[in-house]
Amino acid sequence: MRLSASFGAAMASTLAVCGLHMKGRGSLSKCLQKVDTFLHRTIGTNVVAVKEEREGCKSLYGVQAERQEQAERSVLISCHSRTNEKNFLKYLSRHGDINKYFFYESYGMYAVVEFANRESLASLLEEAAIPSTSHESMVPFKSRLLTLRNLGSADVPNQQSGQQCQPQTTIPINELIQRLAREETIEQQITSLTDVYQLTEENSRLRFLVCSLLKDIAAAYFPECTINPFGSSVNGFGKLGCDLDMFLDVDDISGRNAKMPKSGLWLEYQMKRASSERAVTQSLLSVIGDCVDQFGPGCVGVQKILNARCPLVRFAHQPSGFQCDLTANNRVAMKSTELLYLYGELDPRVRHLVFTVRCWARAHGITSSIPGAWITNFSLTVMVLFFLQRRSPPIIPTLDHLRDLADPRDKSVIEGNDCTFVSDFSKIQLLSNTETLEKLLCEFFEFYSTFAFNRMSISIRKGKEQNKPEVAPLHIQNPFETSLNVSKNVNATQLDRFVALCQESSWLLQQSDTNTPRGGNAEKATTPWGLATLLMPSQVAGIKGRKKRRREPASERIKSLLESLKNTNQHKKS
Ligand code: GTP
Ligand code: MG
């Protein structure tokens, strides 16, 4: 969710030094293994094999339930970087078996520890003390964020500490370009980019744990509430370091859908009335926002942005390094998340292409963490999905088709909008499209280089261009609230930049200078080529007006940029 400019900068510094390493024992969850299998499967395998794998795929709700349950058995512990791992585990194991644990760095060392049973967690919390300081007072709110103190003699340094630390945030773009330059095919470059950028198992666990910690705060008022992540934290397109969008759900509290008897007596709760659903959401978020601000350990910079179209509370969760957006009554966004997740699971090419296009767009300032007239990651993802629906044969089905496959139990109407689509992945039959990722990337740029943005709207519901219903430079139909345009913030200048970059990137990918691997020649091995070239900074942003440039040669600037890179490289080697 992006609504305020000031917060990004404040969080950037917090996020910059995060590192994560894992020392877990026990296998990764079965579900994630499946996602992984999908991801690494080669492209163009036969449709039957794809279908078989898909049958074992878990729905987003299945994944969420599993993760949520793990998170509820977990604690987050701040510990000294010299903490001895063996002593640490021995100390904690007194309370019961540990299923999994890992350490990470975020302005200090933290450990996520998942116990096998909730009783162990309760026992551990029972033993924990309230800190006492002479010069400060404490808000006595007990949470599962703890600090490990050591009053004894100096601990034996953890020999492994630091060695296994892996960065939690993504590698800088320059490093990525160098890494991609060493790959042998564009296909490999694309899969390598996804590998580097996607959320790790540990990062996903941490996201659910933060939601669970937040839930403990909200539960003081609404014991039956849930807080679930949505957006890129769970839709399969999340990049390390992306924000944590959370959905506070108080709709599922028991009694809401209880059937009234036709006759006789019954009791109902007396409840305060509000003028609208929006007013309820605002007051709920306002109170929870205050609690987070006043009582939430590690939650800083709390901003209540209650007048936005989608009211939210924004804050930084320092121990995890996440920028958090807490929303409520946001069921349509939850459905969008579920839909994006489903599309990402259908064919591995979906995730690879989305990651690549998102990264490319960010490298060129097409998207930004600051709110404005930019294309958002969500819009960009919908554009990739639409493009994949337009292939011949289509790689993914339309949303209308997914609705037609739905069971009665899939029926979902939210605020009058039909959000129904199939939840059983095995019912979805894919057509046999075997296009390579390289081809698809080229075609994506070509497709949007020539798309009639002035007349047409993008609709993944229909999988076909629709006449634009309103004047807006870029019109992308909201998949569920179909009268809305998800890209209505985008101005003509930003759309022009996108189109110009698509043209330039398409052209570059067709040049032998760009698309020939440098592998095999040590001297040239780190000269950017293929996808690496496309991620290099460009000045296309300066293009004015809406003049279309079709199949023009790349700008002189890009040519000279390529030359200068070659020269720099030769200098380095000499
Ligand atoms: P990043 O945070 O940029 O990595 O991607 P994201 O997909 O999480 O986007 P964002 O945080 O902006 O939004 C979170 C989720 O809210 C998205 O995944 C969508 O499900 C939903 N969303 C965002 N923008 C819109 C919009 O304009 N319309 C609708 N209907 N949903 C949106
Ligand atoms: Mg997000």
Residue of the CA atom closest to atom 32 of ligand 1:
333
Amino acid letter at 58? K
Kindly state if the Cβ of 382 falls inside 6 Å of ligand 1: no
Kindly state if the Cβ of 377 falls inside 6 Å of ligand 1: yes
CB atoms within 10 A of CB 430: 16
Enter the pTM of the model: 0.84
Ligand 2 centroid from CA 318, angstroms: 17
What's the pLDDT score for residue 114?
97
What's the pLDDT score for residue 261?
82
Atom number in ligand 1 closest to CA 232 = 8
Kindly state if the Cβ of 338 falls inside 6 Å of ligand 1: no
Kindly state if the Cβ of 114 falls inside 6 Å of ligand 1: no
What's the pLDDT score for residue 563?
55
User: At residue 114, what are phi and psi to the nearest 5 degrees?
Assistant: -110, 120
Show the low-confidence residues of the chain (pLDDT under 70): 1-56, 152-168, 518-525, 538-574
Atom number in ligand 1 closest to CA 479 = 30
Site to probe by mutation for ligand 1, drawn from 207, 245, 378, 485 as the one with most ligand atoms within 8 Å of Cβ, is 378
Task: Please state, in angstroms and rounded to a whole number, the distance separating the CA atoms of residues 410 and 419.
Answer: 9
What's the pLDDT score for residue 273?
92
Ligand (nearest to CA of 369): 1
What angle (nearest 5°) sits at the alpha carbon of residue 555, between those of residues 532 and 366? 55
Kindly state if the Cβ of 245 falls inside 6 Å of ligand 1: yes
What angle (nearest 5°) sits at the alpha carbon of residue 141, between those of residues 253 and 17? 100
Task: Please state, in angstroms and rounded to a whole number, the distance separating the CA atoms of residues 182 and 188.
Answer: 10
What's the pLDDT score for residue 395?
98
Kindly state if the Cβ of 474 falls inside 6 Å of ligand 1: no
387 token code pair:
């493009």
Atom number in ligand 1 closest to CA 233 = 8
Atom number in ligand 1 closest to CA 481 = 30
Task: Please state, in angstroms and rounded to a whole number, the distance separating the CA atoms of residues 533 and 562.
Answer: 8
Residue 552: left if φ>0, alpha if ψ -120 to 50, beta else—which one? Answer: beta
Burial class (CB in 10 A: 0-12, 13-18, 19+), 306: middle
Atom number in ligand 1 closest to CA 231 = 18
What residues form DSSP beta bridges with 322? 317
Ligand 1 centroid from CA 188, angstroms: 28
Ligand 1 centroid from CA 230, angstroms: 9
3-state class of 6 per DSSP?
A: helix
Residue of the CA atom closest to atom 13 of ligand 1:
1
Site to probe by mutation for ligand 1, drawn from 234, 244, 245, 460 as the one with most ligand atoms within 8 Å of Cβ, is 245
Atom number in ligand 1 closest to CA 377 = 3
Kindly state if the Cβ of 22 falls inside 6 Å of ligand 1: no
Task: Please state, in angstroms and rounded to a whole number, the distance separating the CA atoms of residues 23 and 208.
Answer: 19
Task: Please state, in angstroms and rounded to a whole number, the distance separating the CA atoms of residues 285 and 302.
Answer: 12
Residue of the CA atom closest to atom 18 of ligand 1:
231
Kindly state if the Cβ of 281 falls inside 6 Å of ligand 1: no
Task: Please state, in angstroms and rounded to a whole number, the distance separating the CA atoms of residues 558 and 537.
Answer: 9
Ligand 2 centroid from CA 379, angstroms: 12
Kindly state if the Cβ of 347 falls inside 6 Å of ligand 1: no
User: At residue 474, what are phi and psi to the nearest 5 degrees?
Assistant: -120, 125
Kindly state if the Cβ of 105 falls inside 6 Å of ligand 1: no
Atom number in ligand 1 closest to CA 369 = 3
Ligand (nearest to CA of 479): 1
Kindly state if the Cβ of 366 falls inside 6 Å of ligand 1: no
Ligand (nearest to CA of 242): 1
What's the pLDDT score for residue 106?
83
Nearest Cα neighbor of 399 from 444, 409, 412 is 412
